[in-house]
């Protein structure tokens, strides 16, 4: 069994904004190895990561959790077919392209309202003033969460990303109460639609309904927030790209895909082996945890030309930022649409945007998620 390289622990526990990607290049030289401290096999190369994400029969998402942790364990993220298939089918009934497209006017209005608040100041914290509130407002409105509760949800969502069990329990309790309210008094929101589908004959337990709401809120919030913040980091690193996008806004959809590849919001995912298997020249026994590093796969030079360069017009761009296979991110269309609307407004209204050169950027304290807590900008 190949053990972890010496630098593995220090680089993972103390990542820097760009040192992470230098570290990935080093790790791809030892593509699959076992980390005894985390009790998981680490996978870094694109073909291996894609295979793990694709072969759910071998690499299961049904990861065991402590007995006391009930919330989030019956969600789309932690189930395999046939249960996963029925959950995703239900999700696609109520969280469909038509519903997403209907949000365009509201997304646009929210974006410009938030920019109006800071326009005269010439500076803002891009994360706190724009990248965080837009996704949380949108996903909260989709679910039917009252305005006054959104700050709680942002706090709980951040806590779940950093594996805070109290945050997970608090969000679960909140949704149980909200679902109870909606059963008695339905509204025009996703929770009411889920309840109606459930009562219409779909096999969905009460816990699965709660978990579905949690995964939508956390996924819809964290992924898009960090996509937006990471886009600004990319544009700051490549100012010529920012200028090109202002002159050729039609390139923005390709630029968003390159942001997703170059600075993936989700850096790692976990699976567990259901059988003994071979991967990257290693034999992995049954019942072993496997961690796939999407951020490393998306910088794999054997898959992407000039992998460590941000290429605004990269096409095709088969990145794995939204996963692959049956667990491909359900909220990907929403994240892409929000990214397009917000960044279009940024290109038009903040043409002189640049990050405060004196700012110290602090990463989110999670090895699975990539983004910064705060992003002071001048415009």
Phi and psi at 166, nearest 5°, equal -65, -40
Q: Is 100 helix (H, G, I), strand (E, B) or coil?
A: helix
Least confidently predicted of 60-69, 154-163, 249-258 = 60-69
Q: What is the mean pLDDT of the chain?
A: 88
Average pLDDT over residues 151-165: 82
pLDDT above 90 for 223: no
Which pLDDT score, from 0 to 100, does residue 204 have? 65
Which pLDDT score, from 0 to 100, does residue 67 have? 42
Phi and psi at 63, nearest 5°, equal -85, 135
Which pLDDT score, from 0 to 100, does residue 366 have? 84
Question: How many other CB atoms are there within 10 angstroms of residue 206's CB atom?
Answer: 12
Q: For residue 82, name the pLDDT band (cuts at 50, 70, 90).
A: confident
Which pLDDT score, from 0 to 100, does residue 108 have? 97
pLDDT above 70 for 190: yes
Domains of the chain, CATH where assigned: 8-378 (1.10.630.10)
pLDDT above 80 for 77: no
Q: For residue 140, name the pLDDT band (cuts at 50, 70, 90).
A: confident
Q: For residue 10, name the pLDDT band (cuts at 50, 70, 90).
A: very low
Give the β-pairing of 40-43 and 289-293: parallel
Average pLDDT over residues 186-214: 77
Percent of the chain with pLDDT over 70: 90
What the block records as the tokens of 176 is 């149980």
Q: Where would I find the beta strands (DSSP E) of the chain?
A: 32-35, 40-43, 59-60, 123-125, 268-273, 277-279, 282-284, 289-293, 354-355, 376-378
pLDDT above 80 for 367: yes
Which pLDDT score, from 0 to 100, does residue 291 have? 97
pLDDT above 70 for 64: no
Which pLDDT score, from 0 to 100, does residue 17 have? 79
Which pLDDT score, from 0 to 100, does residue 19 have? 86
Residue with more model confidence, 14 or 55: 55
Q: For residue 66, name the pLDDT band (cuts at 50, 70, 90).
A: very low
Q: Which residue has the tokens 């010529």?
A: 240
pLDDT above 60 for 65: no
Average pLDDT over residues 226-253: 97
Query: Which 8-state DSSP code applies to residue 128?
Result: I
* Chain segment 29-43, per-residue pLDDT in tens: 988 999 999 999 999
Percent of the chain with pLDDT over 90: 58
pLDDT above 90 for 142: no
Average pLDDT over residues 106-133: 96
pLDDT above 60 for 72: no
Average pLDDT over residues 131-144: 89
Question: How many other CB atoms are there within 10 angstroms of residue 118's CB atom?
Answer: 17
Q: For residue 371, name the pLDDT band (cuts at 50, 70, 90).
A: very high
Q: For residue 340, name the pLDDT band (cuts at 50, 70, 90).
A: very high
């Amino acid at each position: 069994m190949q053990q972890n390289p010496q630098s593995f622990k220090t680089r993972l526990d103390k990542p820097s904004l760009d040192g992470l990607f230098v570290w990935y290049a080093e790790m791809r030289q030892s593509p699959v190895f076992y980390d005894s401290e985390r009790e998981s096999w680490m996978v870094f190369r694109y073909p291996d990561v894609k295979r793990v994400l694709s072969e759910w029969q071998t690499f299961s998402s049904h990861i065991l959790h402590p007995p006391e942790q009930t919330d989030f364990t019956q969600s789309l993220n932690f189930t395999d077919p046939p249960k996963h298939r029925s959950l995703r089918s239900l999700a696609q009934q109520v969280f469909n392209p038509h519903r997403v497209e209907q949000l365009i006017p509201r997304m646009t209005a929210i974006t410009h309202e938030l920019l109006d608040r800071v326009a005269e100041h010439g500076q803002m914290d891009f994360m706190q003033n724009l990248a965080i509130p837009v996704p949380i407002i949108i996903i909260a409105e989709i679910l039917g969460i009252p305005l006054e509760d959104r700050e709680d949800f942002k706090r709980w969502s951040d806590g779940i990303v950093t594996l805070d069990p109290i945050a997970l329990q608090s969000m679960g309790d909140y949704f149980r109460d909200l679902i109870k309210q909606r059963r008695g008094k339905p509204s025009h929101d996703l929770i009411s639609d889920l309840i109606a589908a459930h009562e219409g004959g779909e096999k969905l337990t009460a816990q699965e309904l709660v978990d579905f709401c949690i995964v939508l809120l956390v996924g819809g919030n964290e992924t898009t927030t960090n996509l937006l913040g990471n886009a600004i980091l990319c544009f700051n690193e490549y100012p010529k790209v920012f200028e090109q996008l202002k002159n050729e806004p039609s390139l923005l959809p390709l630029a968003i895909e390159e942001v997703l590849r170059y600075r993936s919001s989700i850096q790692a995912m976990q699976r567990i082996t259901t059988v003994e298997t071979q991967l990257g020249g290693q034999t992995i026994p049954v019942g072993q945890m496997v961690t796939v590093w999407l951020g490393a796969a998306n910088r794999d030079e054997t898959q992407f030309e000039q992998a460590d360069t941000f290429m605004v017009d990269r096409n095709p761009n088969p990145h794995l930022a939204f996963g692959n296979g049956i667990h491909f991110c359900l909220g990907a269309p929403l994240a892409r649409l929000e990214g397009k609307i917000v960044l279009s407004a940024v290109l038009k209204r903040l043409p002189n945007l640049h990050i405060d050169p004196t700012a110290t950027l602090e990463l989110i304290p999670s090895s699975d998620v990539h983004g910064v807590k705060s992003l002071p900008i001048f415009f």
